[in-house]
Chains A and B, each alone.
Chain A
Amino acid sequence: MSEDPKRTDTTESPDEMSRRNFFIKMGVGSVAIAALGTTVFGYQYLSPNVLYEPSPIVDAGKPDHYPPDSVTLDPQTAIYVVRTAEGFFALSAICTHLGCLTAYKPELGIIACPCHGSKFNKDGIKIEGPAPRPLPWLRMWLSEDGNLMVDRSNAIAIKQLVRV
């Protein structure tokens, strides 16, 4: 091999690649492609395609279950159904700071978070504390059989009341 004159030619020429270098580049390249594929594969495997989680759409029951001027928390679904003189709206009960479940304090008329002390009024506007955003209003509508329905995955930007 070492006496082969062609071999010395190829190593001296900067444009041509030696056989060994070629195979090293091929090997490293294929390992890199495989690693990339493994990363994509791993990411897809770790992201569940089906979630066995409760539906975001909640049936909050008949409107007359809620007394006038009331704020009612359902801890299971983490929503407030607020009834004012004008109508109903739904408020997320999950604190916008770090996701704790807030509670309504009827004696103070405010919503308070037990984790880091954020306080909100009945409209979800922050009064004090670390929460960066107001509690979101959730889309609410009346079903055909007259029940209040709330979509927890759908926050509404424009505040609308459901009038019954």
Chain B
Amino acid sequence: MANTLDQLVEQVRENRIWRSIFRSGTGESNLHRALFVQQNVFLHLFSVKARKRTVGFSATWYLGAMTFGTFLILVITGILLMLYYHPSVPQAYADMKDLQFVVSSGVFLRNLHRWSAHAMVFLVFAHMFKVFYRGAYRPPREFNWVIGVVLLLVTLLLSYTGYLLPWDQLAYWAVTVGSNIASAVPVMGSKIRFLMLGGTAVNANALLRFYVLHCVILPFTATLLVAIHFWRIRKDGGIYACEPATEGKSE
């Protein structure tokens, strides 16, 4: 049984269509494995080889990977929530309540989106602490740390813009307070608030602007920066491996 299954898998992988998509072939050698990573548009961001101690749990606690996992959950559940949500003043709150009480699995998807968002903010901070205390931000990885800080800001902005969308009292006053904090910027503060809200008060324009930021601009920015962030790991010499303290080599 297992043999025939293996043969079937082998046949599929030898198939001309399969080979036209995955060009690395069926071999088991390190070269084939390396080619598989190198020739895949997503995997080629990563290096084809990694030191064993950098892929173990203790090196990273997989915090960055888990952050990316929550991001993927947020993108998928977010797209599904968009199918029932209208970003307009008369409908936004009712749509949110419909998702909770009327739409099949709506409350599950909404809660998954919400808790993943909380988890992502927590994991971003945890990831940054881990990187900081291991000293993995030091050259040659200093620019990747900067990208990470920008990604932290994008994550917080995603949380903040998403907070308004239920259009309940909590959302309304949180964004009122938040936009007034933005207006405390010297000289151009009130202009920033005006552009942010598309008006002088939290209203229909603000809801639409936050919706577009939350669903289009910020996710695209995050995706682009995450791609660069991953690619820079390879370019900066792979995941940082602590020098073992016992060896005491001087470099």
Contacts and interface: CB of A to CB of B under 8 A. Distances in A.
B29 to A, nearest CB: 48
B194 interface: yes
A99 B179 CA distance: 9
B195 A100 contact: no
| Main secondary structure on B side of the interface with A | helix
User: Is the interface on chain A under 10, 10 to 19, 20 to 34, or 35 or more residues?
Assistant: 10 to 19
Interface residues of B, number: 15
A107 interface: no
| Main secondary structure on A side of the interface with B | loop
B173 A100 contact: yes
Given A53-B203, A98-B181, A48 B176 contact: no
B195 A47 contact: yes
A52 interface: yes
Interface in A44-81: 46-48, 51-53
A48 B173 contact: no
A53 B173 contact: no
Contacts of A48: 198-199, 205
Contact of A47 (B173, B181, B194): B194
Interface string A27-56: 000000000000000010011100111000
Nearest to A52: B204
A98 B200 contact: no
Q: Which 4 A-B pairs have the closest CB atoms?
A: A99-B180, A98-B180, A98-B177, A99-B176
Interface of B: 173, 176-177, 179-181, 194-195, 198-201, 203-205
Interface of A: 43, 46-48, 51-53, 97-100, 115
Given A48-B198, A100-B176, 17 more contacts: A43-B195, A46-B195, A46-B198, A47-B194, A47-B195, A48-B205, A52-B204, A53-B200, A53-B201, A53-B203, A97-B180, A98-B177, A98-B180, A98-B181, A99-B179, A100-B173, A115-B173
